[in-house]
Copies of this chain bind each other. A is one copy, B any other.
Amino acid sequence: MKQSSLCPKFEKGMQLLGKRWTGLILYQLLSGPQRFCALEGALPVSGRLLSERLKDLEKEGLVHRQVFTDSAPVRVEYSLTEMGKALTPVLKGIESWSQSWIELNADEMANDSEE
């Protein structure tokens, strides 16, 4: 792998956010702690990758994983840490940029209203 002249922190940050689903998972968690199945239902990501990403995000300190053993079937809730919450303006920024600039083509429009 080639060496870049970029700040390694920035590069690592981009590498994190530049992974498929990471941004959407974090965005989804902005609305509060959520269970695994809730995230799975809200995003078009498979359980396999969701699990993988959440593990990564937990390791990197963006997401907190809490298991509730008291309730019926074990409940696992994921939430943003301070580090994760600090990304709020970035995620919101991407959201509003998308609203302003992204155009959907026919395929994407169709996809949007079916299944």
Contacts and interface: CB of A to CB of B under 8 A. Distances in A.
List the 6 closest A-B pairs by CB distance, nearest first.
A13-B98, A4-B44, A90-B93, A9-B102, A2-B44, A10-B98
Give how many copies assemble into the complex.
2
A106 interface: no
Given A89-B93, A108-B12, A24 B42 contact: no
Contacts of A102: 9-10, 12-13
Given A8-B112, A18-B17, A86 B101 contact: yes
Interface of A: 1-15, 17-24, 27, 42-46, 61, 83, 86-87, 89-90, 93-95, 97-104, 108-109, 111-112, 114-115
Contacts of A7: 95, 98-99
A37 to B, nearest CB: 13
A44 B3 contact: yes
B90 A94 contact: yes
A50 to B, nearest CB: 11
